[in-house]
Structure 1
Amino acid sequence: NTVSASTNTKFFQNADGKYHLVVYVVEDHVINAQASQGDNADHRYVLRTSFGGSTFGEVVAMGSIASGMEIQNTFTAQLVAGWNPDNLRYFAVIWEDVASTFQYINGNLVEETTVSSSIQLSPEELGISWQVQDDNFLISAQLSRATDQLQIQMMDLMGRPFFTKNYSRLPEGKLELHIPAAILPSGNYPVIIRTPYGVRSMMVVK
């Protein structure tokens, strides 16, 4: 499984320095051994890894930084088998590098994350269909079980993503999404639906 995390870093005042951004992967409710607690202790908020494997992440700003400056980043990482995707949380932290000593500046929970698997789901596991309705593509997905995360992505005629919608904590049942199609040229548009437990794809035609 892979996970992608999107961040937006904004400086609210002028700054001068070298700033790093890292996204940490934390798992809650890890059941494992603990001294005096036995083999089934409930461990809260276990630090699993960081995106890229670096403790303090990558440099996102350096030198003189103006108030209002914004920086967007997307990080992708592989999840290790045995981690529970439903219990994973992603925390972004900004560190300032002061003469190779890292000082904490700010941190926040990353809300925009997508966990996906390369396993191809059957129509019974994830039913998908489409139709054109009022200059929109109507994408329908029938979920056979609840999912903590789901992503619907449409590609353009060159195979590049141009529309992405992320959902969280969806129940079992039907999901519908309208994608504007009026300005799109005629052609075939791939649609990919990703979940933590698998993926399905289809081609929609205008």
Structure 2
Amino acid sequence: MHAAGTLRDGLLHTAGDDDWDEVLGAHLHVGVQLTRALVPAMREARWGRIVYVGGAAGLVGSVGQGAYDVAKAGLFGLMRGAALELDRRGITVNYLVPFAYTRMTASIPPATPALERFKQHARSSRPCDVAPLVAWLCSERSAGVTGQVLGVRGAELGLWSQPRPVQHAVRSEGFTPELVDVAVRGALSVQLTPLESEFDLFAEPAPPVSRADSTDCDHDRSDSR
């Protein structure tokens, strides 16, 4: 399981080379290196479990986190490629989208009132809420479930969609730019993806997990997101 992470937030035109290198290195390059190191033994054993800790930002996007968005999107591509390569060897590869309040997420500056509200209700989502899904993905029980994006948000377990063609426009004579405009703004328009950030998409509080003790999970604070 690859759960390394760091943040160096900044707009695309203000983040420096060092910011990009650190974030891509921790989130993406380490994931590639670990995969290359572990896969030979897994292939020989014809069994293995790989879980990449991704993030909603890599699938949806977020403002001021370009390097993080790219790194997590890269992990998604790595997951799909590895899952296809290793499927016949009994090795599953999946992408985890955890929602948990950690030291890393606490460091995100509340630039807007909406983000401040998001951070406040995010405090109820703990790393230990994500742990059962991780344990399952790493177990024998998850056999056959590979190439998937799964997430936990409080008491909610979610299966994410993945990029696929959702609608087609066919014209035997081909298209001109003008006809592309007609198609995109016409028949295809109902399937256009809204321009939402992860903070827009998950603006509402997560379904709460009932805890017998309010101090449950206090020991599991981590830096992963």
TM-score (norm 1): 0.27
TM-score (norm 2): 0.25
Work out which structure has the larger RCO, using CA pairs closer than 8 Å and 6 or more positions apart in sequence: 2
| Structure number with larger C-alpha Rg | 1
Greater helix proportion: 2
Greater strand proportion: 1
